[in-house]
Amino acid sequence: METTFREASADPRTAALPLAHLSLELGHLYMDDFAAGPVRLREHFARIRPWVDAARESCAGAVGRRPRISTCFLIDDYFTRFSSPAEVVPQIVEEAARAGLVIDYLARESACAEAGPVRPAQLVEARLVPSPPPGSTGSRPPATETGWLSNGERSPVDSLAEAMSETAGWRPPREIEARRHSVFLDVELWDEQHGRRTWSCPFLAAVWQLLRLGLLRDQGQEVLRPAEAPQDLPGSWDALAPLVRLNPGAAPFAAYRTFSVLAGRFLPIEHAVAVILDQWSPEEAVLRQLAERARQEGVALPDGVRARVEYLFTGPS
C-alpha cells in the first residue's frame, strides 16, 4: 500500500465562478439621493436608459451572439445608514422598471469591507503592489502602513534638513506613466480613529469592481455568493444579505468586464479606483482560470485588470 502526503495548501482549490459577459452597474444610492425622494431615482434611471441600451448593443457586437449581461445596483450602507431595505429596495426596483430597466443584483457597500467572516477589503489590501517611482529610495513607508497610494512621485519634503542648511528646493510631483504632463493623484485608502479602521470610498469602489470581475478569492473560495431575495425584506440593512439576487432569471453576477453608468460626481472616485487597480496583483491561478474560460468562449479578455473596467459618466459633476 503506497501512501502519498500532500500539503493542504498545495491542493488546487481555486473556485471557478459562473461568469456573465458584462456586469452593468446602474448606479449608487446615497442617503442624499434617497432623501430627495422617488423623483431623483426616476430622473436617474430615465437619464441612463439610452446608455444602458448602448452598452448592451456594444457587448452583443463584441460577443457576436446573445450576450450574458447582468445588472447591479450599490447601496451605501457603510458611511451612512438610512431607511431600510423594506422601504428602499421596492422603490428602486419600481423606478428602474418605470424606465424599462431590471435590476438583477443589489449589493450593500458595507459588504466590500465585511461580508460575514470574510473581509474583502483586507483581501484587496494584501495584494497591493505599489509601483516605485523612478529613483525612489524606499524611504517612504509602504501604503499598507500609511494608508496612502499614489500614481507617481510626490513633491519632496525637507522636514529633516538642518537649520540654516541648503534645501533641495521644491520639485513638482510626477505621474509615473505620464503622457508629456502629469496628472498626479494621491489616494487615501483608509484612516483610523480610536483603533478602528474606516476604508475610503475609492478603496471600497475598487473592491466592488474586483468582486464584479470575479477576481477575488478567500483561500481559493468565492467571496460573495448571491442570496435569493427574501419574500419579506427586512427592516434593517444588517439583516439583508451582502449581495441579493432580485431577478431569479439573471445572468451571473461576476463578469469578464464591467461597465458602470454613473453620475459625473463619481469621476474623482473612479479615477482613484484606476490608481488602485493599476497597483493590485491578482492571484495567478484566478487569472489563468479566467483566461482559459475566455479562450474557450472566444471572448477577448485584456491582460490588465484596469482594462476590463469601463464607465460612462452622466449629468453634472
- The tens-digit pLDDT sequence of the chain (317 residues) is 444 444 444 455 889 999 999 999 999 888 888 888 889 999 999 999 999 999 999 999 999 888 999 999 999 999 988 899 999 999 999 999 999 999 999 999 999 999 999 999 999 999 999 877 666 666 677 888 889 999 998 887 665 555 566 666 788 899 988 989 999 999 999 999 998 999 999 999 999 999 999 999 999 999 999 999 999 999 999 999 999 999 999 999 999 999 999 999 999 999 999 999 999 999 999 999 999 999 999 999 999 999 999 999 997 65
Question: What is the number of other CB atoms lying within 10 angstroms of the CB of residue 309?
Answer: 22
Domain that holds residue 57: 20-126+192-314
Our CA angle for 289, 297, 74, nearest 5°, is 70
Is residue 1 domain-resident? Answer: no
- pLDDT for position 70: 98
Which residues fall within 8 angstroms of residue 96, CB to CB, at 6 or more apart? 26, 41, 45, 73, 102, 103
Beta strands in 32-86 (DSSP E): 69-75
- pLDDT for position 316: 67
- pLDDT for position 284: 95
Identity at 55, one-letter amino acid code: A
Is residue 212 domain-resident? Answer: yes
Is residue 278 domain-resident? Answer: yes
- pLDDT for position 143: 85
- pLDDT for position 73: 97
- pLDDT for position 3: 46
Is residue 2 domain-resident? Answer: no
- pLDDT for position 19: 97
SS3 content of the chain, % helix, strand, coil (to 5): 35, 20, 45
CA distance 204 to 165: 44
Is residue 142 domain-resident? Answer: no
The SS3 assignment for 273 reads: helix
Is residue 133 domain-resident? Answer: no
CA distance 287 to 163: 53
As for how many domains the chain has, the answer is 1
SS3 letters across 112-177: HCCECCECHHHHHHHCECCCCCCCCCCCCCCHHHHCEEECEECCCCCCCCCCCCCCCCCCCCEECC
